[in-house]
Chains A and B, each alone.
Chain A
Amino acid sequence: GNSVTQMEGPVTLSEEAFLTINCTYTATGYPSLFWYVQYPGEGLQLLLKATKADDKGSNKGFEATYRKETTSFHLEKGSVQVSDSAVYFCALMRYDKIIFGKGTRLHILP
Chain B
Amino acid sequence: SAVISQKPSRDICQRGTSLTIQCQVDSQVTMMFWYRQQPGQSLTLIATANQGSEATYESGFVIDKFPISRPNLTFSTLTVSNMSPEDSSIYLCSAGGVTNEKLFFGSGTQLSVL
Please measure, in the bound complex, the distance between the C-alpha atom of A49 and the C-alpha atom of B102, giving whole angstroms. Answer: 9
| Option from B31, B42, B48, B100 in Cβ contact (under 8 Å) with A102 | B42
Interface residues on B, range: 20 to 34
Q: Is the CB of A51 within 8 A of B101?
A: yes
Using CB atoms, name the residue of chain B closest to A46: B102
Interface secondary structure of B, over-half rule = strand
Q: Is the CB of B42 within 8 A of A44?
A: no
Q: B92 interface residue, CB < 8 Å from A?
A: yes
Q: Is the CB of B45 within 8 A of A97?
A: yes
* Residues 53 to 109 of chain B near chain A (Cβ within 8 Å): 92, 94, 96, 100-108
In the assembled complex, which residues on chain B have CB atoms less than 8 Å from the CB atom of A89?
42-43
Q: Is the CB of A43 within 8 A of B45?
A: no
Which residues of B does A touch, CB under 8 Å? 4, 31, 33, 35, 40-45, 48, 92, 94, 96, 100-108
